[in-house]
Amino acid sequence: MAEQGNMSDLWKRLRFVFFAIIVYRMGTHIPIPGIDPVQLERFFSTQDDTLIGLFNLFSGGALERMSIFALNVVPYISSAIIMQLFSNSVPYLQELKKDGQAGRNKITQYTRYGTAILAFIQGLALAVTLSSSAAINPGITFILPAVFSIVAGTMFLMWLGEQVSERGIGNGISIIIATSILTGIPAAIGQALEQSRLGEISILLLIGIALLSMAVIAVVVFIERGQRRITVNYAQRQQGRKLMQAQTSHLPFKVNMAGVIPAIFASTFLLFPASLSTWFGESESLGFLQSFALLMNPGQPLYIIVFATLIISFCFIWLALTFNTKDVSDNLKRSGAYIAGIRPGEQTANYIDSVLARLTVFGAIYLTLICLLPIALMNFGGISPTISVGGTSVLIIVVVLMDFMAQVQSHMMSSQYASLMKKANLKNYKR
């Protein structure tokens, strides 16, 4: 019965995730009021090779259809970035982090407020642009309902992601982003085949891209599963009436400690100012923003430099924000553990810092190369940037799916463990 109960809980969580994905995909087809579809299609036909085209890819086509989910979870991610950066520099937020669950709830609340503000700014910029290019009745009668619809859609999507994290499996925001990218893959494949049919791309190049995609996936899986283990020794110690013999264990550290977060942060960080530049740059007084937007298009040198710099910076920043080597060292010292040849305390913390620094350098280089791969294909192979055969898209999809499967397996293992405990008929187990 215990096994059946745990498995039913697993199926319940899976059903909730699938239901949330269906709701999200339905929402991407609900347009904001007052949009002219013909003019909208004409507007986005000129944005394929820009950051707006990539923005549309991350939104699962919601931006191109100008749905209520046009901004996707980009404002939420931007707000989370800001809160993470401020949480270690603002004394008030530092104190909140030390307050446990109550403090984390307060920080989450501030993140939601930031999401609403950023969604309003981006929604207003988008509505002002569409008012002159794709609205049936331009003016304030279009802008106000459009901004309200976009902000409401973004906040609902944020809430949906939190519900998936709480009542489903995996990180809800990551699942939404991965779903958005996955829905764009069939269109990207169709576009590539159409280019091949028209003679713009050779069939051999497409085969090479397919093989390269599989190679990229294999590399991502291999590195994301890789670990650097630090051997930890436990001295002989007295625990109650028992004399515990000397034991050996290890501290596992992922090769890519930061995961996919730096890639998501860097992409989102680029999309926010670039979208504002593209939308507001049509104004005569703000024409310089249009020039900036052109320099920040994928494939441009400035875009490559800024993108690589952001990924590398976020790798180190994220590690500093989420991992405290001093706490690890103190925990080892309290448990009577030590690293061979390293004194407990400060020297242990410094040693772990040096190991993590080397891992982060490797992880940052790996993430940068993977994320810049589509740009290389675009510049040297003539591939459209919206055809994402590698880079951030593949990285996000693979890492999210790996995390999702790991959590599913953990639920299944817990059900099997409960079944074994019941069969063992251990004394007082049911208590």
Tell me the CA distances in angstroms from 306 to 56, 60, 300, 316, 388, one per residue in order: 21, 25, 10, 16, 19
d(CA 15, CA 329): 42
Helix (H, G, I), strand (E, B) or coil at 70: coil
Instruction: Say yes or no to pLDDT of 255 above 80.
Output: yes
CA distance to 9, 101, 116, 173, per residue, from 66 (Å)? 37, 38, 19, 20
What pLDDT digit, counting tens, does each position of 264-295 carry?
778 777 766 656 565 555 555 555 666 666 67
314-366 residue pLDDT tens: 888 888 777 778 888 888 777 777 787 788 888 888 888 888 888 899 989 99
Angle (nearest 5°) at CA 280 between 84 and 179: 50
Residue 155: pLDDT over 90: yes
Q: CB 203: neighbour CB atoms within 10 A?
A: 10
Which amino acid appears at position 360 of this protein? T
pLDDT tens across 373-393, in order?
A: 877 776 665 555 544 445 677
In order of 36, 125, 285, 315, 385, the CA distances from 272 in angstroms are 25, 11, 20, 20, 18
What is the C-alpha separation between 234 and 331, in angstroms, rounded? 13
Q: Does the structure show a pLDDT above 50 at 85?
A: yes
CATH of domain 2-424: 1.10.3370.10
* Domain ranges across the chain: 2-424
- Structure confidence at residue 160 (pLDDT): 92
| Residue 5 CB contacts under 8 Å (≥ 6 apart), including other chains | none
How many percent of the chain have pLDDT more than 90?
6
User: Global pTM?
Assistant: 0.76
